[in-house]
């Protein structure tokens, strides 16, 4: 079916009446741990959909971003807590299924801008590459609140995670913030 995304439950109501494939999307270079460039809302014309992951082409030039420019082909998802859908990378999509993202305590945003492996590298630079990270917190890229990121398979059970992390697993760690 042509342009079936127009009727997609996640996108309905977001399109311009006169341009029924065009909507606004938050594009970014990554979250606040990775870049100082804030996300920007740009117009995107949708070109495809795969389940709840959409593809589109950026229609206007972002002001300060490196990863995205006018004409870029991007993927995006609709996220709770966000005013507009958000851009996602292939790496993020590949890793996302292995994690639970606890919504931001301030705004409810429940996605990340960065692939968890990229965040872990920045937040825990001394972690061994083969270490299993079971949970950590990060800053919400939309409002600066705190989000919890938790591995679906608890590596504490296999004793492969760093001790300080398995220790943290015993208490409801994200509630302390
Ligand atoms: Zn937030």
Scanning the structure block, which residue is given the tokens 């945003």? 109
Mean pLDDT in consecutive groups of 10 residues from the start of the chain, 177 residues: 89 94 98 94 97 97 96 97 97 96 96 95 81 86 95 61 47 48
Closest Cα partner for 113 from 56, 67, 58, 174? 67
User: CA 174 to CA 177: how far, in whole Å?
Assistant: 6
- CA 137 to centroid of ligand 1, rounded, Å: 13
Q: State pTM to two decimals.
A: 0.84
**Alpha carbon of 161 to ligand 1 centroid (Å):** 28
Handedness of CA 117, 123, 129, 134 (dihedral sign): negative
**Residue ranges of E strands in 33-163:** 40-50, 53-58, 73-77, 86-88, 99-102, 135-139, 146-151
How many angstroms does the Cα of residue 4 sit away from the middle of ligand 1?
31
Token pair belonging to 148 = 């919890």
Going from the Cα of 1 to the center of ligand 1, the distance in angstroms, rounded, reads 36
Distance 158 CA to ligand 1 centre (A): 33
CA of 138 to the centre of ligand 1 (A): 10
At residue 177, the pLDDT reads: 40
Give the model confidence (pLDDT) of 119-157 as tens digits. 999 888 887 767 777 889 999 999 999 999 999 975 555
- CA 10 to CA 23: how far, in whole Å? 12
Question: Which sign does the torsion angle of CA 141, 9, 62, 88 carry?
Answer: positive
Please tell me the distance between residue 143's alpha carbon and the centre of ligand 1 in angstroms.
Answer: 4
All residues with CB under 5 Å from ion ligand 1: 104, 106-107, 109, 140, 142-143, 145
CA of 147 to the centre of ligand 1 (A): 8
CA 74 to chain centre: 13
Cβ 121 vs Cβ 115: under 8 Å: no
Q: Please, are residues 141 and 84 in contact by the beta-carbon 8 Å criterion? A: no
Please tell me the distance from the alpha carbon of residue 124 to that of residue 144, in angstroms, as a whole number: 19
């Amino acid at each position: 079916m042509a342009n079936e995304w127009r009727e997609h439950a996640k996108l309905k109501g977001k399109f311009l009446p006169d341009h029924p494939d065009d909507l606004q999307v938050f594009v970014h270079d990554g979250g606040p741990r990775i870049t100082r460039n804030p996300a920007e809302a740009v117009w995107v014309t949708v070109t495809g959909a795969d389940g709840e992951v959409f593809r589109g082409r950026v229609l206007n030039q972002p002001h300060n971003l490196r990863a995205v420019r006018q004409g870029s082909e991007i993927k995006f998802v609709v996220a709770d807590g966000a005013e507009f859908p958000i851009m996602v990378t292939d790496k993020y999509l590949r890793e996302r299924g292995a994690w639970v993202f606890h919504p931001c305590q301030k705004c409810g945003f429940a996605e990340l801008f960065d692939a968890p492996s990229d965040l872990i590298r920045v937040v825990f630079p001394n972690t061994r590459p083969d270490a299993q990270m079971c949970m950590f917190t990060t800053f919400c890229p939309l409002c600066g609140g705190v989000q919890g990121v938790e591995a679906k398979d608890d590596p504490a059970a296999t004793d492969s995670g760093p001790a300080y992390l398995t220790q943290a697993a015993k208490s409801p760690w994200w509630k302390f913030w």
